[in-house]
Structure 1
């Protein structure tokens, strides 16, 4: 096994507790607001992106899409992993970014469903 691959295998860790809590919050938020949004946390049509869903899952938000649209979540205050865990894009596009940026990238650029993001967070 090449040394770089060996190091990568040795560095693999189970998901952090706050990462699992983040996955649960995204899943709950997606249930509350089934329509997915892209390029914004909350859409005027009542949707949410993955991080918007996490905020929705952690807090009770207004059902009115126009009220929710104005909210700009500060999720890193709830989930430390968003800024302090770096992950590679599982789509193979060579991006390695903080978890919050990778989640937005998967949601907006690869159009992963929030449920796909939840499963990815839970397994790695």
Structure 2
């Protein structure tokens, strides 16, 4: 039976990322059941990204963007607006920071992975 008091946890995960794998292992070690969102296989919508920004307490998507990715340079995003960055994240989910843990509407970027414990 599901109650409104149940805690929901989601891990935005990229299995090829060592930090993301570390965060997943940490959640398992702590006994936290999390829905794993493999965002490269199931890219986020703009609305999901906006909700993620709200959960992170962000007004600007720039902290969500991996600026070291080739796609960031190829798309010329250094001077992009917030709308352009969100569009780029939708079209190129590889640009999304990882891991991200969302628990009951509050999120944290797990860089380093131990930071995820702040929302647990």
TM-score (norm 1): 0.29
More helix by share: 1
**Larger-gyration structure (1/2):** 1
Query: Quick check: which one's strand share is greater?
Result: 2
Higher relative contact order (CA 8 A, sep 6+): 2
